[in-house]
C-alpha cells in the first residue's frame, strides 16, 4: 500500500467549543490511483487533503506515505516531504501575478532535486506557446493549467487537487480533467481530486465520501470511464 | 461614520508599518521644530549679545595716536575707544592674548563670576579656562605678574578666538584671551599694540576713515564683517541654519513619500470595498476623508509625541548650540508657539502627497473598483519588457519584486541615500580633519622630536637636522609669526605646492594661512619686523605652501642667518626622528609631535556628540525605511509566501527570496550617497566661503566608506531579523483562502 491512514483524528476548536472534527479516518490507497473525495460543504474534504499533503498535522492517528509516517515528522522534514513528494492544485490557482507563466512553474522547479523539463511540462499542459504571458492575460482554465504545471514540475508522487474545476465552465473543466488523467497515465502519479461534482467520480479508481467528518462511503469504482466521457 | 470603526483594526493589523511611519513623523517634526527653535534662540542671543556689548564697526591701528578722542567722537557722531593688547606665553605651547578692558565698544560680557574691580584681577575666556583647568579664584601668572581669575567673559570681536586670522580652527589648548584693567595694563612690562575700536552712530564710517587716513595715517583697518573671529560665527550660523531646515525637510519629504506608498498599497487592496461603498451611495468626499483619517492618525500621533519630546529637548539644545557657536546664553526663553509648529509641520508635507494618491484612486468608476482589477488587469510595461530568461529563478523573482512598484523602489533608494548621507557626514568630518592634521603633521613635518636650545651654536654634534628661527610681525597685519631657516633638502620639512609637487627648500616659502592673512602672492615682496629688536627686513616670497594650518615662513638656513647677521651655520633648534642625547641644561624647550596631535584632538571632541547623534538618527531612519518597505513587500506577498511554504520552500529559502530582494537597491542608495554628500557639503561650504577666506579640504576615505556600509548592512540585518518573524507567522492556510487580492 502506498498511502495508509490509520484512525486519523483532527479537531478545530474555537475557544472551548469543538467546531469541527474529522473522526477515525482510515483507508489505504495504491500507487497510481485516481481518488475522488466527495461530500457536502464543510464535511472535511479540504481538511483531509491538507493532512495528506502535510500542510496540517493530525491530532492522533498515523498517515504513512510509503514507509514514512508523516504524522511523526518534524516541521523541517514535513517541509521536505511537501517539497519532494507533493503537488497541490487549488480551486483558485494562486499564481504569482508578477511572474510570467514560465516563471510561475519555475517557482516549483527551483526547489526540486530532479524537476521535469519545464518546456515538457508546459507542453503537456498545453501552455508552452503562452509561456511568456502573465496570469492576468490568461483565462481561468489556462491559469489552472499553469497551476497544474507548477504542481507537476517537481515530479511529485502525489497530486492533491482541491476543487480543481470549481471555478471553470464545463468545457474547460473537462479539459482539465483530461489533463489530470493524462498525467496519471504518463507519470503514474497518485491523484486525489476533491470535488462537489458527483459527475467526476466516473473517472476515478476510488470514491471516498465524507459527511460531517466521517467516511460514509469508500468504494472502488468498477465502472471507470475516461475523463472524456464525463458529463454533467 | 461607521467606516471609521475599522481604522484601528486596520492600524493594528499592520502595526509595524504604521508605527514605523509614526516614528519617522515624530523624528522629523521633533528635529524640525527643535533645530529651528534652537537656531532662532542662538540668533536672538547673538543679537542681544552684540547689542549689549556694543560691537565695533571697525578697528584700526594708527601711526599717530588720537589724543582728543572726545572731539572726534562728537565731530563724527561715533564712539571711539583705544584698546591695548599683547601676547604672552603662559606655558611652552600656550599663548594668552591680554586685552585692556573697554567700556564703550566691545564691552566684555561676563558669562560667569564678576567683573574686574582691582588691578590684580583678570577675566578669562571660558572655553580656554575650562580646557586648561583654570577655575574662578585661581591665580594665573602673566609676564611675572600674578592675577586672580574673577570671571569668564565673551567679547564680540573675538567670539571665535582664532590665534591668527589665517587659522581655520580654534585651539583652546594653545591659545586663549584674557582681560585686565587699564591700570594693570599700564603696569605691564611690555607696551602692547593699540587698536582703536570704532562704533558709528550714523551708520557711516567713510568720513572718519578719510579723516584718520589724512591725519593719523592708518596702518591697519578692518571692518567687523571682514574679521574672521566674528564672521566665522556668522558663517557657521548661516550654515547651520541651512542644515536646520534642510535636514528635517528631507526626512519629512521621505516620511510623506513613505506614508504615501503605505496608503496607496492600502487603498489598492481595498478597491473592491471602495467600489462597494460607492455603490452603497457614499460620496467620494466621504470615502476620501475616511482614508485621510489614517494619515491624520499618523501625522497627529507622530506630531504630538514629537512635540512632547521636543519640549524636553529645547533647552538643552539651545544651551548646546550657544556653546557650539561660542555665544553666551543671555536669554534662554523661547516662544512656545514655535513648538506648536511641530504639530502642523507633518501635515504640510504629508497632506499634498496623500491627496495625489487619493485622487489617483478615486477617479476610477465604481464598477471598475468593484471588480478590483483596475491595476492588475494590465501587465506593466517594465514587467513585459524585462528579459530575465538567462537568470536563475531567485534572481528573476527578486528583479520582478524590485520593479513591481517604482514609487516604493524610489522611496527605498531615497531613504537609504538620505540616511547614508547622514551616516557618512560624521566620517567626512573626521576624515577631513584627519587629513588636515596628517597633511600638516605627518606629510609635511617628518620629525618626531623638536629641540630648542638655550643658545645659538654653529656645529651640530648631536645628530638630527639643525635649524634656526626668529619671531617676526608685520605691522598692522600679523602680531607674530615664525620664520624658520632650514637646511636645503631638509629631511624633516617637506612642503608641497597646490599641485602637490614638492617645493625645493632653496625658496622662501610662506604657508597658505599666513599668505592669506598677509594677502601676498608668489613673487611679492613684504616687509617684516623682528619682534626682538624691531628691525625691518624686506623679503621676497617665492612660493606658497599648500598647508592648512600654521603661520610660518621657511627659507634656507644660511639666508635667514645672513638676514639676521649671524654666522651662516648658526642654529638654535634641531629636528630629529629619534630622541637625541643633548645635555639637559642646554635644552630650552622640547616637544614631540604627539603633544601637538593631542592638542588638536581636544578640539574635535565636542563635535563628536552631535555627529554621533546624527549617525544614530541615520541608523534609525535607515532601519525604519528598510523595515517598512520590507513590511509592505511581505504584506503584498502574503499569499505568495504561504504558497512557497506549501510548495515546500524552507524558511531560509523564503527569507532569501523576500528579504534579500532589496539588497541591490540598498547598495545603490548607499553608493549614490557618497557623491551627493560631497557635492552638497561642497556647495554648503562654498556658499559660506563667499564671506570669508576659508579652505577646508573635503575627504572621505575608503575605510570610512566601508565602515559606513557596514553600519548600513547591520541596519539591514536588524530589520531582516524583525521581518523574519513576520514571514514566519504567515500560515499556509493563507493561500487556501478563497480569492487572492
Ligand atoms: N483552520 C481552521 N480552524 C477552524 N476551523 C476550521 C479550520 N479549517 C477548517 N475549519 C472548519 O472545518 C470544517 C471543515 O472544513 P473543510 O474546509 O475541510 O470543508 P470542505 O469539505 O472542504 O468544505 P468546502 O466544500 O466548502 O470546501 C468547516 O466547518 C471549517 O469551518
Ligand atoms: Mg474545501
The residue to which cell 501575478 is assigned: A97
- Pair B93, B208 in one domain: yes
Q: Which atom of ligand 1 is nearest to the CA of A210?
A: 21
Q: Is A10 a pocket residue for ligand 1 (Cβ < 6 Å)?
A: no
State CA B470 to chain mean position distance: 36
Q: Strand, helix or coil at B601?
A: helix
| Neighbour tally for A194: CB within 10 Å | 24
Give the residue from B576, B611, B640 where a domain finishes. B576
Backbone region of residue B133 per phi and psi (left: phi > 0; alpha: psi in -120 to 50; beta: other values): left
Compute the distance between CA of residue B402 and CA of residue B383 in angstroms, rounded to an integer: 11
- Find the CB nearest B648 among A50, A82, A162: A82
Contacting A residues, span 201-230, partner chain B, CB-CB under 8 Å = none
Residue B380 maps to a domain: no
Say how many Å lie between the first and final Cα of chain A, rounded. Answer: 33
Provide the grid cell at A217.
462511503
Burial class (CB in 10 A: 0-12, 13-18, 19+), B584: exposed
Query: Which stretch of DSSP H or E encloses residue B556?
Result: strand B552-556
Pairing of strands B175-180, B121-124: antiparallel
Q: What are phi and psi of B340, to 5 degrees?
A: -65, -30
Read off the pLDDT band of B694 (50, 70, 90): low
Q: How far is B432 from chain A (nearest CA, A)?
A: 47
Residue with the smallest CA separation from ligand 1 atom 27 is: A41
Cβ-Cβ contacts under 8 Å, B639 against chain A: 94
Sequence-ordered list of residues with C-beta below 8 angstroms from that of B460, at least 6 positions apart, any chain:
B466, B571, B574
Contacting A residues, span 41-70, partner chain B, CB-CB under 8 Å = 46, 50, 53, 55-56
Q: Does B269 touch chain A (CB under 8 A)?
A: no
Q: How far is A79 from chain B (nearest CA, A)?
A: 5
Compute the distance between CA of residue B469 and CA of residue B723 in angstroms, rounded to an integer: 67
Distances (CA, A) of B318 to B153, B302, B332, B428: 19, 23, 7, 25
Which of A47, A49, A55 is the pocket-test mutation for ligand 1 (most atoms within 8 Å of CB)? A47
Compute the distance between CA of residue B299 and CA of residue B258 in angstroms, rounded to an integer: 12
Burial class (CB in 10 A: 0-12, 13-18, 19+), A197: middle
Cβ–Cβ below 8 Å for A110 and B640 = no
Residue B182 maps to a domain: yes
Residue B222 maps to a domain: no
Read off the pLDDT band of B740 (50, 70, 90): very low
Buried/exposed code over B626-662 (b: 16+ C-beta within 10 A; e: otherwise): bbbbbbbbbbbbbbbbbbbbbbbbbeebbbebbbebb
Question: Is the per-residue pLDDT at B669 higher than 90?
Answer: yes
- Pair B494, B532 in one domain: yes
Cβ–Cβ below 8 Å for A84 and B388 = no
Q: How many domains does chain A have?
A: 1
**B631: closest CA among B266, B248, B356?**
B266
Compute the distance between CA of residue B229 and CA of residue B653 in angstroms, rounded to an integer: 62
- Per-residue model confidence (pLDDT) at position B599: 62
Give the residue from B543, B576, B609 where a domain finishes. B576
Question: Is the per-residue pLDDT at B303 higher than 60?
Answer: yes
Q: Which atom of ligand 1 is nearest to the CA of A163?
A: 27
Q: How far is B648 from chain A (nearest CA, A)?
A: 4
- Pair B730, B607 in one domain: yes
Question: Is the per-residue pLDDT at A27 higher than 50?
Answer: yes
Q: Would you list the DSSP string of B74-125?
A: HHHTEEEEEEEEEEEESSSS-EEEEEE--SSSSPPEEEEE----STTEEEE-
Compute the distance between CA of residue B172 and CA of residue A140 in angstroms, rounded to an integer: 79
Provide the grid cell at B700.
572621505
Q: Does B408 touch chain A (CB under 8 A)?
A: no
Range list of H helices, B439-578: 512-518, 557-564
Cβ-Cβ contacts under 8 Å, A134 against chain B: 379, 383-384
Residue B439: DSSP 8-state = I
Give the domain extent around A36: 3-229
Cβ-Cβ contacts under 8 Å, A50 against chain B: 736
**A80: closest CA among A96, A62, A68, A67?**
A68
**B353 vs B522, higher pLDDT:** B522
Residue B510 maps to a domain: yes
Q: Is A46 a pocket residue for ligand 1 (Cβ < 6 Å)?
A: yes
Residue with the smallest CA separation from ligand 1 atom 25 is: A41
Residue of chain A minimizing CA distance to B637: A96
Compute the distance between CA of residue A56 and CA of residue A12 in angstroms, rounded to an integer: 12
- Pair B469, B570 in one domain: yes
Q: Strand, helix or coil at B528?
A: strand
Strand partners, B239: none
Q: Does A157 touch chain B (CB under 8 A)?
A: no
Angle at B130 between CA B128 and CA B136, to 5 degrees: 100
pLDDT digits (tens, 9 = 90+) for B102-120: 999 999 999 999 999 999 9
Cβ–Cβ below 8 Å for A55 and B394 = no
Residue with the smallest CA separation from ligand 1 atom 6 is: A12
What average pLDDT score do residues B202-228 get?
Answer: 86
Q: What are phi and psi of B314, to 5 degrees?
A: -55, -50
Strand partners, B468: B485
What average pLDDT score do residues B681-697 get?
Answer: 68
pLDDT digits (tens, 9 = 90+) for B40-91: 888 888 899 999 999 999 999 888 899 889 999 999 999 999 999 998 888 8
What average pLDDT score do residues A58-62 get?
Answer: 94
Q: How many domains does chain B have?
A: 4
- Per-residue model confidence (pLDDT) at position B600: 65
Cβ-Cβ contacts under 8 Å, B645 against chain A: 55, 79
Compute the distance between CA of residue A55 and CA of residue B735 in angstroms, rounded to an integer: 11
Cβ–Cβ below 8 Å for B393 and A81 = no
Q: Does A84 touch chain B (CB under 8 A)?
A: yes
State CA B393 to chain mean position distance: 47
- Pair B138, B272 in one domain: no
- Pair B690, B730 in one domain: yes
Cβ–Cβ below 8 Å for B378 and A136 = yes
Provide the grid cell at B618.
541615520
Contacting B residues, span 628-687, partner chain A, CB-CB under 8 Å = 639-640, 643-650, 653
Provide the grid cell at B549.
594650518
Which of A8, A9, A13, A20 is the pocket-test mutation for ligand 1 (most atoms within 8 Å of CB)? A20
Distance from residue B632's CA to the centre of ligand 1 (Å):
29
Give the domain extent around B455: 447-576
- Pair B196, B250 in one domain: no
Distances (CA, A) of B526 to B243, B446, B469, B550, B719: 41, 29, 18, 18, 63
Query: Which stretch of DSSP H or E encloses residue B415?
Result: helix B406-438
Q: How far is A94 from chain B (nearest CA, A)?
A: 7
Question: Is the per-residue pLDDT at B383 higher than 90?
Answer: no
pLDDT digits (tens, 9 = 90+) for B17-40: 888 888 888 888 888 888 888 888
Q: Is A166 a pocket residue for ligand 1 (Cβ < 6 Å)?
A: no
- Find the CB nearest A82 among B647, B735, B738: B647
The residue to which cell 564678576 is assigned: B114
Distance from residue A89's CA to the centre of ligand 1 (Å):
17
Give the number of A-B residue pairs with CB atoms closer than 8 Å: 80
Compute the distance between CA of residue B603 and CA of residue B618 in angstroms, rounded to an integer: 24
Sequence-ordered list of residues with C-beta below 8 angstroms from that of B559, at least 6 positions apart, any chain:
B485, B508
Question: Is the per-residue pLDDT at B741 higher than 50?
Answer: no
The residue to which cell 530589520 is assigned: B719
Distances (CA, A) of B618 to B198, B377, B605: 47, 39, 20
**Mean model confidence pLDDT for chain B:** 85
Residue of chain B minimizing CA distance to A102: B389
Sequence-ordered list of residues with C-beta below 8 angstroms from that of B333, at least 6 positions apart, any chain:
none
**B692 vs A88, higher pLDDT:** A88
Question: Is the per-residue pLDDT at B550 higher than 80?
Answer: no
Burial class (CB in 10 A: 0-12, 13-18, 19+), A9: middle
Cβ–Cβ below 8 Å for B650 and A79 = yes
Residue with the smallest CA separation from ligand 1 atom 31 is: A42
**B297: closest CA among B6, B34, B35?**
B6
- Per-residue model confidence (pLDDT) at position B71: 92
Q: Is B436 in contact with B697 (CB distance < 8 Å)?
A: yes
- Find the CB nearest A98 among B383, B646, B732: B383
Q: Does A103 touch chain B (CB under 8 A)?
A: yes
- Per-residue model confidence (pLDDT) at position B670: 96
Range list of H helices, B270-335: 271-280, 284-324
DSSP E strand stretches across B621-660: none
- Find the CB nearest A55 among B384, B394, B732: B732
**A123: closest CA among A141, A102, A138?**
A102
Cβ-Cβ contacts under 8 Å, B383 against chain A: 98, 100, 134
Task: Specify the range with the lowest mean pLDDT, choosing from A185-194, B161-170, B296-305.
Answer: B161-170
Provide the grid cell at B353.
502627497
Strand partners, B220: B61
Compute the distance between CA of residue B50 and CA of residue B57 in angstroms, rounded to an integer: 11
Q: What are phi and psi of B339, to 5 degrees?
A: -70, -25
What average pLDDT score do residues B494-502 get?
Answer: 85
**B616: closest CA among B426, B411, B416?**
B426
Q: Strand, helix or coil at A161?
A: strand
Query: Which stretch of DSSP H or E encloses residue B259?
Result: helix B228-269
Q: Does B202 touch chain A (CB under 8 A)?
A: no
Sequence-ordered list of residues with C-beta below 8 angstroms from that of A89, at least 6 positions apart, any chain:
A144, A147, A148, A151, A159, A160, A161, A162, A164
- Per-residue model confidence (pLDDT) at position B738: 57
Q: Which ligand places an atom closest to the C-alpha of A211? A: 1
- Pair B422, B521 in one domain: no
Give the residue from B520, B551, B576 where a domain finishes. B576
Cβ–Cβ below 8 Å for B396 and A103 = yes
Q: How far is B414 from chain A (nearest CA, A)?
A: 24
- Pair B126, B246 in one domain: no
Please tell me the pTM assigned to this model. 0.79
Distance from residue A37's CA to the centre of ligand 1 (Å):
14
Task: Specify the range with the lowest mean pLDDT, choosing from B24-38, B331-345, B650-664.
Answer: B331-345
- Per-residue model confidence (pLDDT) at position B695: 61
Compute the distance between CA of residue B118 and CA of residue B477 in angstroms, rounded to an integer: 32
Compute the distance between CA of residue B268 and CA of residue B362 in angstroms, rounded to an integer: 11
Residue B287 maps to a domain: yes
Residue B391 maps to a domain: no
Q: Would you list the DSSP string of B154-183?
A: E-GGGSS--SSTT-SS--TTTEEEEEE-HH
Cβ–Cβ below 8 Å for B648 and A83 = yes
- Per-residue model confidence (pLDDT) at position B235: 78
Read off the pLDDT band of B607 (50, 70, 90): low
- Pair B608, B685 in one domain: yes
State CA A40 to chain mean position distance: 18
Tell me the CATH number at A184.
Answer: 3.40.50.300
- Pair B238, B181 in one domain: no
- Find the CB nearest A94 among B378, B394, B639: B639
Q: Is A91 a pocket residue for ligand 1 (Cβ < 6 Å)?
A: no
- Pair B282, B174 in one domain: no
Cβ-Cβ contacts under 8 Å, B653 against chain A: 111
Q: Is A47 a pocket residue for ligand 1 (Cβ < 6 Å)?
A: yes
Question: Is the per-residue pLDDT at B377 higher than 70?
Answer: no
How high is the ipTM of this complex?
A: 0.92
What average pLDDT score do residues B411-420 get?
Answer: 92
Amino acid at each position: 500500500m502506498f498511502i495508509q491512514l490509520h484512525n486519523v483524528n483532527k479537531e478545530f476548536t474555537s475557544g472551548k467549543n469543538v467546531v469541527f472534527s474529522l473522526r477515525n479516518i482510515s483507508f489505504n490507497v495504491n500507487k497510481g490511483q485516481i481518488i475522488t473525495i466527495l461530500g457536502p460543504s464543510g464535511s472535511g474534504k479540504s481538511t483531509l487533503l491538507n493532512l495528506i499533503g502535510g500542510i496540517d498535522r493530525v491530532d492522533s492517528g498515523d498517515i504513512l506515505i510509503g514507509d514514512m509516517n508523516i504524522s511523526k515528522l518534524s516541521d523541517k522534514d514535513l517541509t521536505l516531504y511537501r517539497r519532494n513528494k507533493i503537488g497541490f492544485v487549488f480551486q483558485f490557482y494562486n499564481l504569482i501575478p508578477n511572474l510570467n507563466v514560465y516563471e510561475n512553474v519555475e517557482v516549483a522547479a527551483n526547489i526540486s532535486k530532479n524537476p521535469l523539463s519545464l518546456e515538457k511540462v508546459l507542453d503537456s499542459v498545453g501552455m508552452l506557446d503562452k509561456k511568456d504571458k502573465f496570469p492576468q492575460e490568461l483565462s481561468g482554465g489556462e491559469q489552472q493549467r499553469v497551476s497544474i504545471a507548477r504542481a507537476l514540475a517537481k515530479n511529485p508522487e502525489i497530486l492533491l487537487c482541491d476543487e480543481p474545476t470549481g471555478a471553470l465552465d464545463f468545457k474547460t473543466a473537462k479539459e482539465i480533467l483530461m489533463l489530470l488523467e493524462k498525467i496519471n497515465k504518463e507519470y503514474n502519479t497518485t491523484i486525489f481530486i476533491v470535488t462537489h461534482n458527483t459527475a467526476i467520480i466516473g473517472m476515478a479508481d476510488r470514491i471516498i465520501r465524507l459527511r460531517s467528518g466521517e467516511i460514509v462511503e469508500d468504494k472502488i469504482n468498477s465502472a471507470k470511464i475516461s475523463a472524456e466521457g464525463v458529463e454533467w | 461614520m461607521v467606516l471609521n470603526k475599522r481604522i484601528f483594526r486596520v492600524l493594528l493589523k499592520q502595526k509595524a508599518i504604521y508605527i514605523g511611519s509614526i516614528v519617522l513623523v515624530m523624528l522629523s517634526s521633533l528635529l524640525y521644530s527643535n533645530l529651528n527653535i534652537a537656531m532662532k534662540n542662538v540668533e536672538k542671543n547673538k543679537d542681544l549679545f552684540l547689542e549689549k556689548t556694543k560691537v565695533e564697526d571697525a578697528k584700526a591701528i594708527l601711526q599717530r595716536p588720537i589724543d582728543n578722542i572726545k572731539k572726534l567722537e562728537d565731530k563724527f557722531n561715533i564712539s571711539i575707544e583705544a584698546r591695548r593688547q599683547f601676547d604672552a606665553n603662559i606655558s611652552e605651547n600656550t599663548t594668552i592674548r591680554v586685552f585692556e578692558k573697554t567700556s564703550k565698544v566691545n564691552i566684555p560680557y561676563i558669562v560667569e563670576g564678576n567683573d574686574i574691580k582691582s588691578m590684580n584681577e583678570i577675566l578669562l575666556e571660558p572655553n580656554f579656562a575650562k580646557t586648561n583647568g583654570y577655575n574662578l579664584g585661581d591665580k594665573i601668572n602673566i609676564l611675572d605678574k600674578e592675577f586672580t581669575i574673577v570671571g569668564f567673559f565673551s567679547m564680540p570681536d573675538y567670539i571665535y578666538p582664532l590665534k591668527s586670522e589665517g587659522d581655520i580652527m580654534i585651539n583652546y589648548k594653545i591659545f586663549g584671551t584674557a582681560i585686565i584693567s587699564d591700570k594693570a595694563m599700564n603696569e605691564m612690562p611690555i607696551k602692547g599694540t593699540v587698536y582703536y575700536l570704532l562704533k558709528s552712530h550714523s551708520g557711516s564710517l567713510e568720513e572718519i576713515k578719510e579723516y584718520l587716513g589724512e591725519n593719523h595715517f592708518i596702518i591697519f583697518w578692518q571692518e567687523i564683517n571682514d574679521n574672521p573671529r566674528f564672521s566665522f560665527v556668522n558663517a557657521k550660523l548661516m550654515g547651520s541654519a541651512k542644515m536646520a531646515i534642510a535636514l528635517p525637510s528631507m526626512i519629512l519629504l521621505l516620511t510623506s513619500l513613505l506614508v504615501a506608498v503605505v496608503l496607496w498599497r492600502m487603498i489598492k487592496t481595498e478597491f473592491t470595498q471602495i467600489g462597494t461603498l460607492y455603490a452603497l451611495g457614499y460620496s467620494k468626499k466621504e470615502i476620501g476623508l475616511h482614508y485621510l483619517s489614517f494619515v491624520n492618525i499618523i501625522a497627529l500621533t507622530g506630531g504630538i509625541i514629537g512635540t512632547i519630546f521636543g519640549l524636553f529637548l529645547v533647552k538643552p539644545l539651545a544651551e548646546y548650540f550657544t556653546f557650539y557657536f561660542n555665544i553666551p546664553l543671555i536669554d534662554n526663553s523661547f516662544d512656545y508657539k514655535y513648538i506648536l509648529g511641530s504639530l502642523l509641520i507633518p501635515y504640510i508635507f504629508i497632506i499634498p502627497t496623500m491627496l495625489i494618491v487619493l485622487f489617483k484612486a478615486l477617479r476610477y468608476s465604481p464598477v471598475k473598483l468593484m471588480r478590483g482589477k483596475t491595476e492588475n488587469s494590465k501587465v506593466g510595461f517594465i514587467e513585459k519588457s524585462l528579459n530575465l530568461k538567462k537568470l536563475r529563478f531567485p534572481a528573476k523573482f527578486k528583479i520582478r519584486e524590485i520593479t513591481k512598484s517604482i514609487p516604493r523602489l524610489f522611496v527605498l533608494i531615497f531613504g537609504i541615500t538620505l540616511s547614508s548621507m547622514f551616516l557618512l557626514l560624521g566620517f567626512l568630518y573626521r576624515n577631513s580633519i584627519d587629513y588636515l592634521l596628517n597633511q600638516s603633521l605627518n606629510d609635511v613635518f617628518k620629525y618626531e622630536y623638536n629641540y630648542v636650545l638655550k643658545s645659538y651654536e654653529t656645529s651640530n654634534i648631536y645628530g638630527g637636522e639643525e635649524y634656526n628661527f626668529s619671531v617676526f610681525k608685520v605691522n598692522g597685519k600679523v602680531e607674530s609669526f615664525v620664520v624658520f631657516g632650514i637646511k636645503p633638502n631638509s629631511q624633516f620639512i617637506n612642503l608641497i605646492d597646490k599641485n602637490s609637487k614638492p617645493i625645493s627648500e632653496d625658496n622662501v616659502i610662506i604657508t597658505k594661512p599666513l599668505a592669506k592673512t598677509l594677502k601676498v602672492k608668489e613673487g611679492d615682496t613684504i616687509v617684516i619686523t623682528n619682534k626682538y629688536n624691531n628691525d625691518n627686513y624686506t623679503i621676497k616670497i617665492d612660493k606658497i605652501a599648500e598647508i592648512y594650518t600654521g603661520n610660518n615662513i621657511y627659507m634656507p638656513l644660511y639666508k635667514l642667518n645672513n638676514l639676521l647677521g649671524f654666522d651662516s651655520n648658526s642654529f638654535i633648534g634641531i629636528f630629529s626622528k629619534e630622541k637625541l642625547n643633548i645635555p639637559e641644561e642646554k635644552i630650552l624647550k622640547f616637544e614631540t609631535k604627539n603633544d601637538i596631535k593631542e592638542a588638536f584632538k581636544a578640539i574635535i571632541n565636542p563635535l563628536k556628540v552631535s555627529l554621533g547623534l546624527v549617525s544614530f538618527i541615520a541608523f534609525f531612519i535607515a532601519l525604519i525605511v528598510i523595515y517598512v518597505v520590507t513590511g509592505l513587500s511581505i504584506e503584498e506577498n502574503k499569499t505568495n509566501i504561504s504558497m512557497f511554504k506549501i510548495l515546500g520552500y524552507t524558511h531560509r529559502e523564503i527569507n532569501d527570496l523576500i528579504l534579500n530582494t532589496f539588497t541591490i537597491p540598498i547598495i545603490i542608495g548607499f553608493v549614490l550617497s557618497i557623491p551627493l554628500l560631497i557635492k552638497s557639503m561642497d556647495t554648503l561650504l562654498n556658499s559660506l566661503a563667499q564671506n570669508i577666506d576659508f579652505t577646508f579640504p573635503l575627504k572621505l576615505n575608503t575605510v570610512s566608506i566601508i565602515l559606513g556600509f557596514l553600519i548600513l548592512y547591520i541596519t539591514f540585518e536588524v530589520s531582516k531579523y524583525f521581518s523574519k518573524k513576520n514571514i514566519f507567522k504567515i500560515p499556509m492556510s493563507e493561500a487556501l483562502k478563497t480569492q487572492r487580492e
